[in-house]
Amino acid sequence: MNRVEPAVATWQTPEYVDAAAFDEHDVTIGADPIAVPGTVTLPRGAGPHPAAVLLAGGGPFDRDGTAGPNKNLKDIAWGLASRGVAVLRFDKVTYARPEYLAATAGFTPTDEYVPHAVAGIEILRDLPTVDGNRVFVVGHSMGGKFAPRVAATEPTVAGLVVLAGDTTPMQWSLVRVLEHLAKVDPATAAALPTVEAATEHAKLVDSPELSPATPAEKLPFGMPAPYWLDMRAYDPVAVAATLDIPMFFLQGERDYQVTVDGDLARWRAGLATRPDVTIRTYPADDHMFFPGTGPSMPEDYTHPHHVDPNIIADIADWLTSQRP
């Protein structure tokens, strides 16, 4: 008897997408040696449409945010475009140009996000059916963390949407995640760095002994010291507090990677006096804003999901309601 291999799940169009409502075309973001490919999803009609640049989370993500059978950024782009919002998304330089990363000793998180986000904003502002005064930044996870830095660099940004943006220093977020997984998913935790090793790496990031010459192998994720020096010097809440633009923060309550108590609380405290800041939490959603029940587990991401339709609707409504 021939062996029958199990079917591999693939991404399917979410029910909330109206594919007849928009068109797509490819673009190049930035210039060599760090040019990356991207896609503009443009609502049909004369507009002028509000628009958003999407920023993926930490790691070498493609423009769709592909993780197993899931594509959370494509869900968001197509969902927003179905509701009249133009969207630009792009392959991160860590995905499209790994050779650049390997050859650049001074590579930083700013290099990872800001140049391409700014270039994407310029592309959207030049489109004839886009309202150039209503181009926003929508960032997920680490992309949300660095959204304020993009807006601080590019003054034409009309506002920020931050999806599970982390505020806990990333080296300590890693320790927190490893501690959590050791309790709820020991099998997955066994394949990851130990809590003890991650704690030592985190302490070195905090230490005054950290310098550009510190070996990468002694640091979290094996990223070079300049990356951590730049990360350590950046306070996303403090930068956000300097921005005179509206902001919308969304957080899943089932998220164990970025948490309500550990991360969202800092946004709340730092922006508490701002009437132009909106914060919402979603009880059913995990870090990817996939709805579910029970504790969120890493294995969940291997199954097909779509971004919560409430997230799509709330972002679209917020973006279209903002006026200069």
- For residue 68, give the CATH number of its domain: 3.40.50.1820
What is the 8-class DSSP label of residue 273?
T
Distances (CA, A) of 254 to 67, 78, 293, 295: 18, 24, 8, 7
Averaged pLDDT, 38-64: 96
Mean pLDDT of 228-255: 97
| Residue 267, domain member (yes or no) | yes
Rounded to the nearest angstrom, the gap between the alpha carbon of residue 324 and the centroid of all alpha carbons in its chain is 25
Q: Which pLDDT does position 206 carry in this prediction? A: 97
Share the mean pLDDT of the chain: 94
Provide the whole-model pTM: 0.94
Instruction: Indicate the pLDDT class of residue 5, thresholds 50, 70 and 90.
Output: very low
pLDDT digits (tens, 9 = 90+) for 115-154: 999 999 999 999 999 999 999 999 999 999 999 999 999 9
Rg (CA), the chain: 19
Give per-residue pLDDT as tens, 196-216: 999 999 999 999 999 999 999
- 189 part of a folded domain: no
Q: Strand locations in 141-245, DSSP E?
A: 160-163
E strands, the chain, are: 22-29, 36-43, 49-55, 66-67, 70-71, 86-90, 130-140, 160-163, 247-252, 277-282
Domain region containing 70: 19-168+235-321
Structural domains of the chain, count: 1
φ/ψ bin of 168: left (φ > 0), alpha (ψ from -120 to 50), beta (otherwise):
beta
Sign of torsion, CA 119 159 238 195? negative
Pair 237, 152: CB distance under 8 Å:
no
Q: Is residue 112 part of a domain?
A: yes
Q: Does residue 251 register a pLDDT over 60?
A: yes
Give me the active site residues, please: 141, 255, 287
Residue whose C-alpha is closest to residue 241's, from 158, 148, 159, 304: 148
Cα–Cα distance measured from residue 252 to residue 260, given in angstroms and rounded to the nearest whole number = 8
Q: What is the mean pLDDT of residues 180-186?
A: 88
- Is pLDDT above 60 for 4? no
Q: How confident is the model at residue 101 (pLDDT cuts 50, 70, 90)?
A: confident
Measure the CA–CA gap between 267 and 281, rounded to whole angstroms: 13
% of residues, the chain, pLDDT over 90: 84
Quick one: CA torsion of 66, 67, 71, 73, rounded to 10 degrees?
-70
Mean of the pLDDT values across residues 280-308?
A: 94
Give residue 6's pLDDT: 41
**DSSP3 helix / strand / coil % (the chain, rounded to 5):** 40, 20, 40
At 175, the amino acid letter reads V
Give pLDDT tens digits for 150-171.
999 999 999 999 999 999 999 9
Q: What integer pLDDT is reported at residue 9 of this predicted model?
A: 67
pLDDT (0 to 100) of residue 184: 87
Q: Is residue 179 part of a domain?
A: no
CB 14 within 8 A of CB 307: yes
* Residue 91 belongs to some domain of the structure: yes
Please give the share of the chain, as a percent, with pLDDT higher than 70. Answer: 97
Q: CA 120, CA 122: separation in Å to the nearest integer?
A: 5
Spatial neighbors of 155 by CB under 8 A, at least 6 apart, are none
Place of tokens 């164990």: 256
Q: How far is 24 from 81, CA to CA, in rounded Å?
A: 10
> Which pair of structure tokens corresponds to residue 293?
């029940």
